[in-house]
Chain A
Amino acid sequence: MGQTRRKFLNFLLSITGIGALGAILYPVFSYLVPPKIAEANVNSVKVGKVMHFPPDSSKILKFGREPVIVVRDKQGEFHALSAVCTHLQCIVQFRTDKESIWCACHNGLYDLKGRNISGPPPKPLKEFKVNIVNDELIISKMG
């Protein structure tokens, strides 16, 4: 009888202990996860006047929270792609010598359509639409 009561009390004590531990750890772990910050929904961003963009040049700007690289190639055509490498999130750059997008971190290479052509990137870069309105360059989401 005494033994059973002791076992039962030990069981109760363990449950309380686990519960107390949970009550301490749950708020701690929840605290560690940063709260989500509401993002403004951006649909398009003005890049600037076309004349400020010579052929064979590039610029990185923010589209909401995402860095986007805008490239004007040798033929004068514009391309806008996510500037975040799909491998490990480094910011890519336009290589004039290769006419392609290059990531310095792990030597990943993309063409100007954003397709991953060599190195470790597993996916292509997201493409953005480029429009010219009144000589002003505007980029917006595809589709």
Chain B
Amino acid sequence: MKGLWNKIEKWLDERYDIQPMKEYIKHKKVPMHRHSVWYYMGGITLFLFTVQVLTGILLLMYYKPGENSSYESVRFIITQVKFGWLIRNVHSWSANLMIFFAFLHMFSVFFSGAFKKPRELTWVSGFLILALALGFGFSGYLLPWDDLAFFATKVGTEIVASVPLIGHWLKEVLRGGEDVTGATLSRFFGIHTAILPLIATILIAIHLLFVQKQGMHEPEEFKNLPEEKKKYIPFFPNFALKDLLFWLLIFNIILFLALYFPWQLGPKADPLSSAPAGIKPEWYFMFMFQSLKLLPAHILFLEGEVVGILTFGLAGTIWMILPFLVPAKRESNKILKIIGVFVVAFIVVFTILGYIL
């Protein structure tokens, strides 16, 4: 086996000079310290993205977009197709976990200060990937065409209309008309299965390239250690195997969730039925939903939700360009930590409020 592998390697090396890549892999190392566990979050998110792509492709084999076929085909997948229920549940759970780990990854990068110079663009690309993940969640939510999906999309696309100047145009382009109809389904299907995957794959490739080029970030306290006290492990195979272990663990959690907490399919969407009582968005939109709910109808001369959307838009933009706004020096750490804790607390508190109020 080893002989065969050596032959293949030699064959490739003769043609493509793979030595530099081999050297790179051999010398890539990962710092070991008490916060090393956070290094795995990005890898887990990437793993979950792969699960999404694979299960998504499988779902495509039976899913038929359309006002008279979406709901029926999802019901067919979960009731008739062998293991269809499993594939759909894994797809739904893995999507939720992917967004959860992307958030975890982002905040761990924030609190360790890894987003600062020279990793500004890694942060920006990561933020954009998270935004895309939310877009995946939003567009995929409509595809089963049940009542919750219908109203979530109605509210979500109506919120888009609050964007100044281009809001109405954007709403109509997203919906494929004035209302949420079969035309919206077609568009969301295209966005979910072609446009977003294409952009996400490119952005992930760029994000990973930046990480490879600059290596792992070393936290301040690790950097200040004397050289002999700094501990590293080789990326390959040590860190990669640990990565794999985490992936296996997460995959088992997904299977557990898929088996014991199957995803529901509500009644089919009906544009003439009232929004069901207790309607709530997915947990990752909950903090925004709850904030909008608590805003009064009018703030000064603007509608409440316009103020809310503009505030979230502004906050998101500042968060994305944060590495360009804060100095790389250490002194700013304390204020940043306070801001970070405030952001996390806001998200957590408003998410919980959304479920109990």
Interface string of B257-284 (1 = CB under 8 A from A): 0000000000000011111111100000
Cβ–Cβ contact B155 & A88, under 8 A: yes
Cβ–Cβ contact B173 & A90, under 8 A: no
Let me know if A81 is at the binding interface, CB within 8 A. Answer: no
Taking CB atoms, residues of chain A closer than 8 Å to B179 are: 65
Least distance between B254 CB and chain A CB atoms (Å)? 30
Q: Which of these binds chain A: B106-114, B219-227, B292-300? A: B292-300
Let me know if B183 is at the binding interface, CB within 8 A. Answer: yes
User: Looking at the complex, which one of B154, B296, B297, B304 makes contact with A90 (CB distance below 8 Å)?
Assistant: B154
Known: A88-B155, A120-B292. A33 touches B305 (CB 8 A): no
Cβ–Cβ contact A105 & B296, under 8 A: no
- Taking CB atoms and an 8 Å cut-off, the chain A residues in 103-124 that contact chain B are 103-107, 116, 119-122
CA gap between A18 and B273 in the complex, in Å: 49
Cβ–Cβ contact B292 & A106, under 8 A: yes
Cβ–Cβ contact A93 & B274, under 8 A: yes
Let me know if A55 is at the binding interface, CB within 8 A. Answer: no
Interface string of B89-120 (1 = CB under 8 A from A): 00000000000000000000000000000000
Cβ–Cβ contact B177 & A88, under 8 A: no
Least distance between B31 CB and chain A CB atoms (Å)? 46
Cβ–Cβ contact A120 & B296, under 8 A: yes
Interface string of B115-159 (1 = CB under 8 A from A): 000000000000000000000000000000000000100110011
CA gap between A34 and B182 in the complex, in Å: 13
Q: Which residue of A is nearest B306, CB measured? A: A122
CA gap between A83 and B334 in the complex, in Å: 51
- Taking CB atoms and an 8 Å cut-off, the chain B residues in 37-83 that contact chain A are none
Q: Which residue of A is nearest B178, CB measured? A: A65
Let me know if B169 is at the binding interface, CB within 8 A. Answer: yes
Let me know if A7 is at the binding interface, CB within 8 A. Answer: no
Taking CB atoms, residues of chain B closer than 8 Å to A106 are: 155, 292-293
Let me know if A47 is at the binding interface, CB within 8 A. Answer: no
Cβ–Cβ contact A90 & B155, under 8 A: yes
Let me know if B197 is at the binding interface, CB within 8 A. Answer: no
CA gap between A106 and B275 in the complex, in Å: 10
Known: A32-B173, A105-B279, A106-B292. A89 touches B273 (CB 8 A): no
Let me know if B303 is at the binding interface, CB within 8 A. Answer: yes
Interface string of A79-111 (1 = CB under 8 A from B): 000010001111111000000000111110000
User: Looking at the complex, which one of B155, B176, B183 makes contact with A89 (CB distance below 8 Å)?
Assistant: B155
Cβ–Cβ contact B272 & A104, under 8 A: no
Let me know if A129 is at the binding interface, CB within 8 A. Answer: no
Taking CB atoms, residues of chain A closer than 8 Å to B292 are: 106, 120
Cβ–Cβ contact A104 & B275, under 8 A: yes
CA gap between A141 and B154 in the complex, in Å: 25
Let me know if B172 is at the binding interface, CB within 8 A. Answer: yes
Taking CB atoms, residues of chain B closer than 8 Å to A65 are: 178-179
User: Looking at the complex, which one of A37, A60, A61 makes contact with B274 (CB distance below 8 Å)?
Assistant: A60
Known: A120-B304, A122-B297. A37 touches B177 (CB 8 A): yes
User: Looking at the complex, which one of A61, A89, A120 makes contact with B297 (CB distance below 8 Å)?
Assistant: A120
Known: A103-B275, A104-B277, A105-B155. A120 touches B293 (CB 8 A): yes
Taking CB atoms, residues of chain A closer than 8 Å to B173 are: 32-34
- Taking CB atoms and an 8 Å cut-off, the chain B residues in 151-206 that contact chain A are 151, 154-155, 158-159, 169, 172-173, 175-179, 183
CA gap between A92 and B298 in the complex, in Å: 20
Taking CB atoms, residues of chain B closer than 8 Å to A83 are: 274
Known: A88-B154, A89-B154, A120-B296. A34 touches B172 (CB 8 A): yes
Q: Which residue of A is nearest B152, CB measured? A: A105
Taking CB atoms, residues of chain A closer than 8 Å to B293 are: 106-107, 120
Taking CB atoms, residues of chain A closer than 8 Å to B155 are: 88-90, 105-106
Closest 7 CB pairs of A and B: A93-B274, A90-B275, A104-B275, A88-B158, A122-B297, A88-B155, A89-B158
What would 20 A/B residue contacts be, using CB atoms closer than 8 Å?
Answer: A32-B173, A33-B169, A33-B172, A37-B177, A60-B272, A60-B274, A83-B274, A87-B305, A88-B154, A88-B155, A88-B305, A89-B155, A90-B279, A91-B275, A92-B275, A93-B274, A103-B275, A105-B279, A120-B295, A120-B305
**8 extra A-B contacts, CB within 8 A, seeds A60-B273, A83-B274, A122-B298:** A33-B169, A34-B172, A37-B177, A88-B155, A90-B279, A91-B151, A104-B277, A116-B297
